[in-house]
Amino acid sequence: MPRPTPAQLTYGSATVVLATLAMLLLSEARSGVAVVVVAAAGLALGVLVAVTAAIPPAVRRAKRARPTERHPVPRARVRGTTEGRLGGHSLRR
């Protein structure tokens, strides 16, 4: 398993702290069980942010883009093939 980058650690930690604080203030949790649930939700959100921060933007765009249809190119239209040059004379030595 690769080590997390400093950016992942920073984004994940900031998300855990800020999300947990916001959820505690908005929910006005008073019981211990509610605080534990909010803390677990903040931790899960922080892990999700840290994991998605590792994915390069190009990969994210490629996953969202629809795959294009690929059609094979006829062999006669491909330039630079060696088939036409096998019988030819070369001046290079």
CA-based torsion, 23, 20, 64, 7: positive or negative: positive
Between residues 86 and 26, which one has the greater pLDDT? 26
- In the structure encoding, which two tokens stand for residue 20, read together? 């947990």
Residue 42's contacts (CB-CB under 8 Å, 6 or more residues apart) are 15, 16, 17, 19, 20, 23
Q: Does residue 70 fall inside a structural domain? A: no
Average pLDDT over residues 45-72: 74
Between residues 61 and 82, which one has the greater pLDDT? 61
| Whether this model's pTM surpasses 0.75 | no
Residue 9 scores a pLDDT above 70: yes
- Counted domains in the chain: 1
Q: Does residue 81 fall inside a structural domain? A: no
Range of the domain at 20: 6-60
Q: Does residue 79 fall inside a structural domain? A: no
Residue 88 scores a pLDDT above 90: no
